[in-house]
Amino acid sequence: MKAGKYIPVALLALVLIGIQQLTQMTGTVYYLTQMTMTAYYALLVIGLCLVMGYAGQISLGHAGFFAIGGYTSAVLTTYNLTPLLEKGNVLISFMQASGVLVTRQSLYGQTLLSVHPWPACIVALILATAIAFLIGIPVLKLKGHYLAMATLGFGIIIYRVALASEIFGQADGISAVPGFVLLPDLIVSGDFNNRVQNYYIACSTLIIGFLLLQNLIDSRVGRALRAIHGSEEAANAMGVNTTRYKLYTFVLSAVFAALAGILLTHYNGGIGPSEAGIMKSVRYVAIVAIGGMANLWGALTMAAILNFLSLRGMFGSYDDAVFGSILIIIMLFAPNGLLRLPIWQFFKKSPAGK
Amino acid sequence: MTLLDIKNVNKHFGGLQAVSDVSFAVRKGMIKSVIGPNGAGKTTLFNLISGNLPLGSGTIFFEDRPIHGLRPYQIARQGISRTFQNIKLFPGMTALENVMLGRHTRSRSGFMAGMVPFPATRREENEIKTKSYELLELLEIRQFAQVEATSLAFGQQRAVEFARALASEPQLLLLDEPAAGLNIYETAEIARLITKIQSHGITVLLVEHDMSLVMDISDEIVVLSFGQKIAEDTPSAIQLNKEVIEIYLGGADA
């Protein structure tokens, strides 16, 4: 449609390149680590923004989808299949023959046989999609507080499962997750030598995700979503299958969350149950709210700023309290988000009339 | 030719029989009105046709296909479009966008096409836009295309709602009290627009309170009282119908 909407995105890309150059010049390359993580969290937030801001549904369980993606990929890429292979498991030998398994050395020189990150990533995404469908079909029949409570319940279940299961490492989570070799020489990992590369991988993923959602919002589907938000009854009467649209949006955002979880897990080399925690979900909702709900740019900006500050430890032990307070303050004083406060009107010289 | 055929339709809410054994047919090309005092079951009947309420019993056929039991969006896809008594435009969307949404059933781009718009998708989007402008033109509100729809004057909002309903190129247009909340000038304006719509070959079924509107433009009128059909005739015959005069003017005391 309008080519103009791509200009801000191009500017964003330039800013991101500028930031990297700046850290290089000032010798603060270590900032890139938090920025990379921030980009992955932001990927989840813009997906949630579509659900909350545009389709008008709430989800307090998105950390759950993040965890489903991260944990699935972590388990598959770290679980040692050598004993099963030695026992002559047909499935494992078939998988090895078809090349979805890789061997690597553990820290102690032991040979590990596990799933390659690519098939692991695909399985994780499929699993997240399936769970989002299974949860979404009954839950999206609910509205308002009831939907919030149901998704909250889902989040708690995922958190508790992660915390209780041996295979998910219980309270310790899963560590020693290998890097994700996207292409030869393009590896998602926390290796210091890969820092700049990973910053660009994360930023590119985020920008691609952002462009996809921006296009979607401008399309026939986006119009239908905004219509559902405005009046579900009228949208339905105009031929929009509101149930299906809400479900697909929910699933799409779950895929965004799962992808963020997968990539961040490989980047960090591990994942713990705190990633599935309720306070994480609350944090994402707070960021979408402060960004102005139906505002993809707002969500992106706020996700970048707040996650970065939080990851740099600016909020100290009050981290969760800060995000809780943000949510309360925003709801009370700026329900349309920080970027739509009346104060900004002073800076915009509006022509007489309108 | 019968377009819409309503047979023995019933609906009750708890102990209240809102619509009781109502039958009538709407022939293609006509303007048919359903009138009745407050609480006569007009809007309920309307919601039964459009699928917003489930039918108690009876049948509704549209072009000889049963539509009772379908969800509203499925009924919309059959070629029935509607407006609402308390205008339901989409807030935060311009008049043009509201009308473009009305084109939903006549377009198909899904989530994938939305995220990665190929030329075919853009062509469809342009078609939607062109058609929507045509409708704004038809309803004489083109100058408000870029204005947020819910900020327009009431009469103009009605026109936007008409345009949105027409965007799906329906065979049958259901209008729920189109004159509600309008002054006499705006009502006359709406009446003119409804006849204009009819002249484009669209059948109209409307529910109305305002007698001046109904008597002027209807080809046939159905009168409901306490959920029952008490008369069905041409406007001039309805005006002379004793029973109708009684329920409107209060019977023997009048």
Measured between CB atoms, which of A230, A241, A252 is closest to B73?
Answer: A241
Q: How far is B242 from chain A (nearest CA, A)?
A: 37
Residue among A109, A131, A110 at smallest CA distance from A247? A131
Q: How far is A15 from chain B (nearest CA, A)?
A: 24
- Looking at residue A98, its pLDDT comes to 81
Concatenate the DSSP letters of all residues of B53-71 into one string: S--SEEEEEETTEE-TT--
The pLDDT tens digits of the residues spanning A112-150 come to 888 999 999 999 999 999 999 999 999 998 988 899 999
Measured between CB atoms, which of A1, A224, A234 is closest to B84?
Answer: A234
Residue B192 lies in a domain: no
Measured between CB atoms, which of A220, A241, A252 is closest to B109?
Answer: A220
Do the Cβ atoms of A216 and B109 come within 8 Å?
Answer: no
Residue B190 lies in a domain: no
On whether both B1 and B66 belong to a single domain, the answer is yes
How confident is the model over B94-101, as a mean pLDDT?
Answer: 96
Q: What's the CA gap between A104 and A178, in Å, rounded?
A: 9
Residue B50 belongs to domain spanning: 1-79+171-179+201-254
Residue B26 lies in a domain: yes
Q: What's the CA gap between A33 and A307, in Å, rounded?
A: 12
Residue B94 lies in a domain: yes
The pLDDT tens digits of the residues spanning B58-81 come to 999 999 999 998 999 999 999 999
Q: What's the CA gap between A206 and A35, in Å, rounded?
A: 12
Residue A144 lies in a domain: yes
Do the Cβ atoms of B90 and A231 come within 8 Å?
Answer: yes
Q: Which residues of chain A have pLDDT under 50?
A: 1, 350-354
On whether both B20 and B57 belong to a single domain, the answer is yes
Buried b (16+ CB within 10 A) or exposed e, A188-207: bbbeeebbebbbbbbbebbb
Residue A351 lies in a domain: no
Q: What's the CA gap between A260 and A166, in Å, rounded?
A: 24
How confident is the model over B204-219, as a mean pLDDT?
Answer: 89
Residue A164 lies in a domain: yes
Residue A269 belongs to domain spanning: 3-346
Residue A260 lies in a domain: yes
Q: What angle do CA B190, B47, B225 make, to 5 degrees?
A: 80
Residue B189 lies in a domain: no
Last residue of a domain, one of B169, B190, B210: B169
Do the Cβ atoms of B101 and A223 come within 8 Å?
Answer: yes
On whether both B95 and B132 belong to a single domain, the answer is yes
Look up the CATH number of the domain holding residue B45. Answer: 3.40.50.300
On whether both B56 and B94 belong to a single domain, the answer is no
Residue A115 lies in a domain: yes
List phi, psi (to 5°) of A103. -110, 145
Residue among B235, B230, B228 at smallest CA distance from B191? B235
On whether both B96 and B165 belong to a single domain, the answer is yes
Longest alpha-carbon distance in chain B: 70
* Residues in A 289-318 with any Cβ partner in B closer than 8 A: 294
Q: How far is A234 from chain B (nearest CA, A)?
A: 6
- Looking at residue A99, its pLDDT comes to 80
| B248 burial via Cβ count (<10 Å: 0-12, 13-18, 19+) | middle
Flag whether residue A230 sits within 8 Å of chain B, measured between CB atoms. yes
User: The pTM is what?
Assistant: 0.91
Q: Quote ipTM for the complex.
A: 0.90
- Looking at residue A352, its pLDDT comes to 42
Quick check: B253 pLDDT over 60? no
Q: What's the CA gap between B144 and B164, in Å, rounded?
A: 14
Do the Cβ atoms of A237 and B117 come within 8 Å?
Answer: no
Q: How far is B88 from chain A (nearest CA, A)?
A: 6
On whether both B175 and B72 belong to a single domain, the answer is yes
- Looking at residue A343, its pLDDT comes to 67
3-state secondary structure A54-120: HCCCCCCCHHHHHHHHHHHHHHHHHCCCHHHHHCCCHHHHHHHHCCCEEEEECCCCCEEEEECHHHH
Last residue of a domain, one of B151, B169, B187: B169
Residue A35 lies in a domain: yes
Do the Cβ atoms of A236 and B110 come within 8 Å?
Answer: no
How confident is the model over B25-38, as a mean pLDDT?
Answer: 92
The number of folded domains in chain A is 1
On whether both B120 and B71 belong to a single domain, the answer is no
List phi, psi (to 5°) of A124. -60, -40
Residue A315 lies in a domain: yes
Residues above pLDDT 70, as percent of chain B? 98
On whether both B248 and B206 belong to a single domain, the answer is yes
User: What is the SS3 assignment for B228?
Assistant: strand
Residue B184 lies in a domain: no
The number of folded domains in chain B is 2
On whether both B61 and B175 belong to a single domain, the answer is yes
